[in-house]
């Protein structure tokens, strides 16, 4: 595959997206600068004693992008490619995501450069606890509330919650979301991002008159988001999942398959590759399959000016953060493909994180039906606000979503003023 000509630096992309919308909203230059810069960035280098007795120094970040609307909120990623610019971009997108969903948070993100696949559980626990104690000075239920992201999960959140609670001397469940149920997690949080994505895709399908029953779907990234999305579309909408992939490669079958069986297979073998009755497909090819719906649910920068002309899906639902470059956005818009942008499409995760935090603070827990029903209300409301903006301003969905989000953050600044 030839290389795209545009930048794949996620923070440059995030800033281009703000510039594009800033111009359309006639934003004042000073305000534009405020929106294009993170408020606070913490870099930490910390030692961890590994299983072989040797000490290894890890580097981690926590970027608090913007808190005009409310406390900072955003996940923590463990990955060998984590960089400050990636964390900045993800923190920036969290700001717009919370604003577009209409929940009272600002945006943040964290990350540690590491290879969790090569670390033992013991090493992961020590690294997590030390990282948590390093960033403890800036996180807390009323300040900044982390959550899981790529290669972190409920166990990671439990260790962070415990580390912070130990230093306070009492349990502080509201410091993180995405926790296991028994220590204050919310019902429905595991699948919330994917359930939200399902609602967003359902609303988009209504607009383009696509029947979801029998519609074909390809999912890149069969992790937390991709796996639950495939399962929900299969079980609740009757759609046909014909391809999924993970970091080792992908599988395709025209007949379709049950994602729950693929999940069981992946748990046993470590990958979706080799699932009986399917053919192999690469992570590049999966994006260009002839399907009705494409859901990139892995990492950023996978849909570019290079492959966008060959994408065949009618609807793209961005389960992942930042999978599409601005140049690819323009191509999809011209080709009439409806792309549901990340800040809207995967906003169900942070929405149920917000519900979890509300339950923690009020010490009153909701049923799964309560959670799902409230999530549906928030998703459909946000989708409609973005769709109306798209129609009235004649822009694509991403710009419509950014307009809704940036208008809210700018309004917050107008009320709060610039101190002093
Ligand atoms: P995860 O770690 O559970 O899953 C990631 C999946 O992507 C894994 O199956 C992995 O094998 C696969 N993968 C890794 N590298 C790949 C590559 N190069 N090509 C194809 N597949 C690859 O992570 P997740 O929580 O599902 O997050 C996935 C994306 O969704 C990320 O962009 C994340 O920021 C975004 N997201 C997650 C949540 C959430 O609630 N977990 C919420 C909003 C957005």
Find how far residue 274's CA is from the centre of its chain. 28
pLDDT of residue 2 exceeding 90: no
User: Is the preceding peptide bond at 409 cis, omega within 30 degrees of 0?
Assistant: no
* Residue 247, ligand 1, Cβ within 6 A: yes
Instruction: Give the per-residue pLDDT at 263.
Output: 98
Torsional class of 178: left (φ above 0), alpha (ψ -120 to 50), beta (otherwise): left
Q: Which atom of ligand 1 is nearest to the CA of 319?
A: 30
Ligand 1 mean position, distance from CA 151 (Å): 8
pTM of the model: 0.95
pLDDT of residue 1 exceeding 70: no
Ligand 1 mean position, distance from CA 310 (Å): 23
Query: What is the C-alpha to C-alpha distance for residues 38 and 74, in angstroms, rounded to an integer?
Result: 13
Which residue, judged by its Cα, is nearest atom 34 of ligand 1? 321
Query: What is the C-alpha to C-alpha distance for residues 15 and 35, in angstroms, rounded to an integer?
Result: 9
Instruction: Give the per-residue pLDDT at 17.
Output: 92
Which of 3, 24, 54, 109 is catalytic? The answer is 109
Ligand 1 mean position, distance from CA 33 (Å): 30
* Residue 190, ligand 1, Cβ within 6 A: no
* Residue 299, ligand 1, Cβ within 6 A: yes
Query: What is the C-alpha to C-alpha distance for residues 260 and 239, in angstroms, rounded to an integer?
Result: 14
Helices in 221-310 by DSSP H: which ranges? Answer: 224-237, 259-269
| Average pLDDT rounded to a whole number, residues 345-355 | 98
Which residue, judged by its Cα, is nearest atom 28 of ligand 1? 298
* Dihedral pair phi/psi, residue 239, rounded to 5°: -80, 165
* Dihedral pair phi/psi, residue 364, rounded to 5°: -140, 125
Catalytic status, residue 109? yes
| Average pLDDT rounded to a whole number, residues 111-133 | 98
pLDDT of residue 393 exceeding 90: yes
pLDDT of residue 261 exceeding 60: yes
pLDDT of residue 36 exceeding 70: yes
pLDDT of residue 104 exceeding 80: yes
What class has domain 192-345?
A: alpha beta
Torsional class of 139: left (φ above 0), alpha (ψ -120 to 50), beta (otherwise): beta
Confidence of residue 197 (pLDDT cuts 50, 70, 90): very high
* Residue 319, ligand 1, Cβ within 6 A: yes
Taking only the tens place, the pLDDT of each residue in 358-392 is 999 999 999 999 999 999 999 999 999 999 999 99
Q: Which atom of ligand 1 is nearest to the CA of 222?
A: 9
253, 274 Cβ separation under 8 angstroms: no
* Residue 65, ligand 1, Cβ within 6 A: no
Which residue, judged by its Cα, is nearest atom 5 of ligand 1? 223
Ligand 1 mean position, distance from CA 327 (Å): 23
Residue 299 CB partners (closer than 8 Å, separation 6+): 150, 221, 320, 323
Query: What is the C-alpha to C-alpha distance for residues 282 and 373, in angstroms, rounded to an integer?
Result: 37
| Average pLDDT rounded to a whole number, residues 103-127 | 98
* Residue 148, ligand 1, Cβ within 6 A: yes
Residue 413 CB partners (closer than 8 Å, separation 6+): 31, 34, 68
CATH of 39-172, one of 3.20.20.70, 3.40.50.10860, 3.40.50.300, 3.30.1700.10: 3.40.50.10860
Report the percentage of the chain scoring pLDDT > 70: 100
Ligand 1 mean position, distance from CA 92 (Å): 18
Instruction: Give the per-residue pLDDT at 8.
Output: 87
Query: Which DSSP category does 213 fall into?
Result: T
Q: Which atom of ligand 1 is nearest to the CA of 353?
A: 40
Mutational pocket test of ligand 1: of 73, 114, 221, 295, the residue with most ligand atoms within 8 Å of the beta carbon = 221
Instruction: Give the per-residue pLDDT at 283.
Output: 97
Instruction: Give the per-residue pLDDT at 199.
Output: 98
Ligand 1 mean position, distance from CA 87 (Å): 15
Ligand 1 mean position, distance from CA 298 (Å): 4
* Residue 223, ligand 1, Cβ within 6 A: yes
Whole-number average pLDDT of the chain: 97
Confidence of residue 205 (pLDDT cuts 50, 70, 90): very high
Element (H, E) at 279: strand 279-281
35, 66 Cβ separation under 8 angstroms: yes
Helix (H, G, I), strand (E, B) or coil at 72: strand
* Residue 320, ligand 1, Cβ within 6 A: yes
| Average pLDDT rounded to a whole number, residues 335-353 | 98
């Amino acid at each position: 595959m030839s290389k795209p000509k545009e930048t794949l630096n996620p923070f440059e992309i995030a800033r281009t997206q703000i510039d594009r919308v800033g111009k359309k909203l006639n934003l004042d230059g000073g305000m534009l600068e405020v929106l294009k810069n993170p408020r606070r960035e913490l870099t930490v280098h910390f030692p961890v004693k590994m299983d072989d007795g040797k000490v290894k120094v890890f580097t981690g970040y926590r970027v608090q992008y913007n808190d005009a609307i409310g406390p900072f909120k955003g996940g923590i990623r463990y990955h060998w490619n984590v960089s400050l610019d990636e964390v900045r971009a993800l923190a920036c997108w969290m700001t717009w995501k919370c604003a577009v969903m209409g929940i009272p948070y600002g945006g943040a993100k964290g990350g540690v450069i590491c290879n969790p696949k090569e670390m033992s559980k013991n090493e992961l626990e020590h690294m997590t606890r030390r990282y948590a104690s390093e960033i403890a000075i800036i996180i807390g239920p009323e300040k900044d509330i982390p959550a899981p992201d790529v290669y972190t999960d409920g166990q990671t959140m439990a260790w962070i919650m415990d580390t912070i609670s130990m230093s306070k001397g009492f349990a502080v469940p509201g410091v993180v979301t995405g926790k296991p149920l028994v220590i204050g997690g919310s019902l429905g949080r595991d699948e919330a991002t994917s359930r939200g994505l399902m609602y967003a895709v359902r609303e988009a399908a209504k607009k383009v008159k696509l029947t979801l029953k029998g519609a074909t779907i390809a999912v890149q990234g069969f992790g937390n988001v991709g796996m639950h999305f495939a399962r929900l579309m299969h079980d609740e909408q009757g759609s046909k999942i014909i391809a999924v992939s993970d970091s080792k490669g992908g599988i395709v079958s025209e007949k379709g398959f049950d994602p729950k069986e693929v999940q069981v297979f992946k748990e046993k073998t470590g990958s979706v590759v080799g699932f009986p009755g399917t053919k192999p497909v690469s992570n590049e090819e999966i994006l260009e399959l002839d399907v009705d719906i494409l859901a990139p649910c892995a990492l950023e920068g996978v849909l570019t000016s290079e492959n966008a002309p060959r994408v065949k899906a009618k609807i793209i639902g961005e389960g992942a953060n930042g999978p599409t470059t601005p140049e690819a956005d323009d191509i999809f818009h011209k080709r009439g493909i409806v792309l549901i942008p990340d800040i809207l499409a995967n906003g169900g995760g942070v929405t149920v994180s917000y519900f979890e935090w509300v339950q923690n603070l009020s010490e009153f827990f909701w049923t799964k039906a309560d959670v799902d029903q409230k999530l549906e209300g928030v998703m459909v409301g946000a989708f409609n606000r973005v769709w109306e903006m798209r129609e009235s301003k004649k822009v694509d969905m991403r710009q419509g979503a950014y307009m809704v989000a940036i208008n809210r953050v700018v309004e917050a600044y107008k009320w709060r003023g610039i101190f002093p």
